[in-house]
Amino acid sequence: MDSSYNATVGSVIRNGQWVVSSSNDYRAVQIRSLLDSVNIGGRDAVLWSNDLVVNLRTIWESIRRRGTSQPWIPLVWNKFHIPSCSFISWLACRNRLSTKDRMIDIALAVDPVCCLCRSSAESVEHLFSSCPYTYLLLRACPFAITLYWNDWLSGNFFIDNLTVFEKQLAYLYITVVIYLVWRERNSRVHDNGSMTVGNLHRLIKQMYREKLFSCPLFRRKLSDSPHLSHILY
């Protein structure tokens, strides 16, 4: 190509035209053919997937794997979500918590019985829906919700027709229950904890109130509809 190893593209441009070798080497012929369809711009620019504006978002959107959204996602990332509660709920929905059935699967010697009810083997489904301890806490939700784990994984959380706002409040309650039940479970496994259902329910309602009172949206709704105060106590 009559060019050096370190030559730049600009070295084969003269007065806005491509000036390349007239060699008959097949590679030179191929390059000349390709250059016929390449317009010479006024300046150099870095492109990523044909986008002139390149930032982390552009790069991430072009390389990330896109999958089908899980039907339980609204539970985890609700409008009033508490990050710690959402994280534990996310792990639970993905069956990634170290419940006793999973510990046994990796050959750990543990007592398989649920430490909250002492009546069934512990699994994520049992712990957060069918366990009598958790069942009583979920029944105390201010809104009518389904109480079966498989329903939740399918995105079916509610028995009644609720408004979008009421669903957000119910999601918050469920995730707080999951978080505090998991914390109580760990306390019993590692620290000999023994909080009663009544005491844990009071803690749930306290956490629920503190979160909602910190949200301007809820305070505005409460101002317009004072009857909402009944869900806080």
Q: What's the per-residue H, E or C state across the chain?
A: CCCCCCCCHHHHEECCEECCCCCCCHHHHHHHHHHCCCCCCCCCCCCECCECCCCHHHHHHHHCCCCCCCCCHHHHCCCCCCHHHHHHHHHHHCCCCCCHHHHHHCCCCCCCECCCCCCCECCHHHHHHHCHHHHHHHHCCCCCECCCHHHHHCCCCECCCCCHHHHHHHHHHHHHHHHHHHHHHHHHHHHCCCCCHHHHHHHHHHHHHHHHHCCHHHHHHHHHCHHHHHHHC
Contact 131, 114 (CB under 8 A): yes
Q: What is the pLDDT of residue 3?
A: 76
Q: How confident is the model at residue 80 (pLDDT cuts 50, 70, 90)?
A: very high
Contact 197, 224 (CB under 8 A): no
Contact 74, 90 (CB under 8 A): no
Distance CA 134, CA 40 (A): 68
Beta carbons within 8 Å of 107's beta carbon, 6+ residues apart: none
Tell me the per-residue pLDDT of 88-130, one tens digit each, with 9 for 90 and over: 999 999 999 999 999 999 998 999 999 999 999 999 999 999 9
Tell me the per-residue pLDDT of 127-159, one tens digit each, with 9 for 90 and over: 999 999 999 999 999 999 999 999 999 999 999
Distance CA 138, CA 142 (A): 9
**Residue that has been written with the tokens 């699994």 in this structure:** 123
Q: How confident is the model at residue 2 (pLDDT cuts 50, 70, 90)?
A: confident
Q: Is 226 exposed, middle or buried (0-12, 13-18, 19+ CB in 10 A)?
A: exposed
Q: What is the pLDDT of residue 39?
A: 83
Distance CA 219, CA 226 (A): 10
Nearest CA to 145 among 127, 165, 129, 121?
A: 129
Q: Rounded to two decimals, what is the model's pTM?
A: 0.74
- Mean pLDDT calculated for residue range 10-23: 85
64's tokens: 């990330």
What sign has the CA pseudo-torsion 129, 135, 138, 142?
Answer: positive
For residue 61, is pLDDT > 90?
no
Tell me the per-residue pLDDT of 204-233, one tens digit each, with 9 for 90 and over: 999 999 999 999 999 999 998 888 888 888
